[in-house]
Structure formats: structure tokens, C-alpha cells
Amino acid sequence: MMNITGRIGRLTTQGVIGAAAFAVVVCACFYTFLSADASGRRPLVILVRHGDAPGSGEPEGFTLGKCSTQRNLSDKGRKQAGEVGDRLRAAGLDVTKVMASELCRTQQTAALMRLGPVESSAAFDDLADFKQRADELLSSERSIIAAWRGPGALLIVTHGSNIKALTGLHVQPGAVLMAKFSDEQLVAKLFSSNE
């Protein structure tokens, strides 16, 4: 499934036919993914890695809330964010809550997706930059995801290190995953990637 959705994710930039194909595949995979949970009580959580932001880690002495001291989205990252929002709207997913880490690149990604007001959450701050708090942050992330009951989907814009710790998957900037808890484990499927 990852290869199919990855290819469709790249095709969506080629026009309306790609967007329609993406929407059909995402909807079909989405319902298959949900039906695997016999309880049917876990509304959807969408994990998004922020768009392209050159470099790695935060500069020495960065300040939360002050974007001039942090890594920010490149032009490519801003474009990725808009495309991810377009794809999710085309798929007809009902996003009712949007959360992002406190870091500017996730806040920028979430805003450019245009899926609703963005709630800042320290729980989703970059595990790689806040290593001393990694266990606490990961526990908070899992609690927020496990507690989500909807209505609709919770969309979380976070970082590659967080997504890897939560799901075991290494994803590229702009990647979209659908996640749910099954037998007390977070399981996720990659539905699109901007590779």
C-alpha cells in the first residue's frame, strides 16, 4: 500500500486527474483501515510531517515563538503544505481539529494547509530538539491521540522524529499518515509523501 499511495501522492501535483485518483485511493484505504478496528470507536487521527525546512535541528539559542531564531519553511515547504491541504480536502476528510508543535515550521505548515484554526501544543515539539523531555512529550502525544473521539479527524502537524517514535516509520517532509489505536498500539498507514 505504501508504494501505491506514494506514487499517487507524487501524481497529484500533475493536475486534477491526479487529485481525483488520490481522493479515490485515500477514501478506499481510509475505510479499509478503519474497518480493521472491530470496535469502530476510534475516530481518525492524521499525522503530517511539516514541509521542507532546510537544515536539521534548531539553531543555537533559538526561542519558541520567535520565528527569526528558528528553521522555517522553504518555498518548497510552503508549496508542500498547500498541496497537502488540497489533497485532504479533495479526499473529503472532515478535519475538525488541527494541532501543531510550538515550532514555527509546523505552525507555518498547519496554517498553509488551510484546514482550520491551529492549536499550538508543546506535546508535539521536536523530540530531536527536546531530548531531555522526550519521554514526557511522547507520553503526552500518545495520550492526546488515544483520547481523540471526534467528531471528525484530528490533524497533527509534527516532526519526523516524533512520527518515527510514535509509528516506527521514517517519513519525508510533507508526508501524511492515517493513525489509530488498535490493541493499545498506535498503528499508522502512509497515504501520501512528497518524495
Residue 55 has pLDDT above 90, yes or no: no
Q: Give CA angle at 116 (94, 190), nearest 5°.
A: 55
Count of other CB atoms within 10 angstroms of residue 39:
7
Instruction: Provide the pLDDT for residue 67.
Output: 75
Q: What is the CATH number of the domain that holds 171?
A: 3.40.50.1240
Residue 171 has pLDDT above 80, yes or no: yes
> Closest by alpha carbon to 182, among 164, 167, 169?
167
The region of weakest confidence among 45-49, 99-103, 130-134 is: 130-134
- Burial (CB count <10 Å: 0-12, 13-18, 19+), residue 15: exposed
Instruction: Provide the pLDDT for residue 192.
Output: 66
CA dihedral 123, 89, 21, 84 (to 10 degrees): -40
Q: Tell me how many domains the chain contains.
A: 1
Compute φ and ψ for 7, nearest 5 degrees: -65, -40
- Each residue of 7-20: pLDDT tens digit? 323 333 344 334 44
> Closest by alpha carbon to 147, among 108, 173, 128, 121?
121
Rounded CA separation 111/129 (Å): 22
Edge-to-edge strands, sheet with 45-49: 118-120, 95-100, 153-158, 45-49, 176-182, 185-192
Instruction: Provide the pLDDT for residue 56.
Output: 77
State the average pLDDT for the chain: 77
Q: Domain containing 72: what range?
A: 2-192
User: Which of 60-74, 102-116, 172-186 is most confident?
Assistant: 102-116
- Each residue of 60-100: pLDDT tens digit? 777 777 877 788 899 999 999 999 999 999 888 889 999 99
